[in-house]
């Protein structure tokens, strides 16, 4: 369905351009995602909606430990096209085995450098938590209601112009 202009005409040659939309997700209960390994994502922050090839966007994630975490995991943010091709990725080595339950949130910074040859289109911003050695085992995530959310979480769409 096409948007209409203020005077009721169909969109035609008119267009709407949205600027950066601040991405700030946080839950009143303090849990955006709870991982099977005991890691809890409490907040995601950054400005993202439209980006250009060659641009770097920076996002921050905040984490806590619900219980002792037995091994270290990486936190990966990725920008993926409709065919599953990555145009940006940042993996933060998170020493989760050192995190203490009940301690202050740990903040990870994720600079995502978009490939200079990224084609215009709509992409997905993904979050993946995985074991860096071995077979890259992914941690299962659950939403604040305890429902399985997956191992690769789509955070938001992102337009590359």
Average pLDDT, the chain: 86
Residue 74: predicted pLDDT: 96
Exposure of 6 in the CB half-sphere (CA atoms within 13 A): 1
Residue 16: predicted pLDDT: 44
> Does the structure show a pLDDT above 90 at 11?
no
Are residues 48 and 75 in contact, defined by beta-carbon separation less than 8 angstroms? no
Mean pLDDT in residue range 11-37: 62
Residue 136: predicted pLDDT: 84
Residue 1: predicted pLDDT: 43
Q: Could you tell me the pLDDT band of residue 18, with boundaries at 50, 70 and 90?
A: very low
The pairing of beta strand 50-51 with beta strand 152-160:
parallel
Q: Could you tell me the pLDDT band of residue 20, with boundaries at 50, 70 and 90?
A: very low
Q: What is the pLDDT of residues 124-149, one digit of tens each?
A: 999 999 999 888 899 999 988 899 99
Q: Could you tell me the pLDDT band of residue 38, with boundaries at 50, 70 and 90?
A: very high
The C-alpha atoms of residue 145 and residue 138 are separated, in whole angstroms, by 21
- DSSP code string of 44-95: EEEE-SEE-TT-EEEEEEEEEESS---S-EEEEEEEE-TTS-EEEEEEEEE-
Q: What is the pLDDT of residues 74-108, one digit of tens each?
A: 999 999 999 999 999 999 998 999 999 989 999 99
* Torsion sign over Cα 41, 45, 51, 53: negative
The C-alpha atoms of residue 10 and residue 159 are separated, in whole angstroms, by 23
> Does the structure show a pLDDT above 70 at 13?
no
The residue to which tokens 């071995």 are assigned: 134
Mean pLDDT in residue range 43-66: 92
Residue 2: predicted pLDDT: 45
């Amino acid at each position: 369905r096409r948007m209409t202009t203020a005077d009721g005409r169909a969109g035609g040659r008119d267009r709407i351009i949205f600027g950066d939309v601040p991405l700030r997700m946080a839950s009143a209960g303090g849990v955006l995602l709870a991982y099977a390994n005991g890691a809890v994502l409490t907040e995601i922050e950054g400005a993202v909606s439209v980006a250009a090839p060659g641009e770097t966007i920076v996002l921050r994630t905040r984490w806590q430990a619900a219980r002792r975490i037995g091994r270290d995991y990486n936190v990966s943010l990725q920008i993926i096209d409709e065919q599953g091709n990555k145009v940006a990725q940042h993996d933060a080595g998170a020493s989760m085995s050192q995190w203490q339950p009940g301690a202050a949130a740990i903040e990870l910074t994720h600079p995502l450098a978009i490939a200079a040859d990224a084609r215009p289109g709509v992409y997905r911003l993904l979050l993946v938590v995985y074991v860096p050695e071995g077979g890259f085992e992914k941690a299962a995530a659950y939403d604040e209601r305890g429902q399985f959310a997956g191992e690769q979480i789509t955070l938001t769409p992102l337009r590359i112009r």
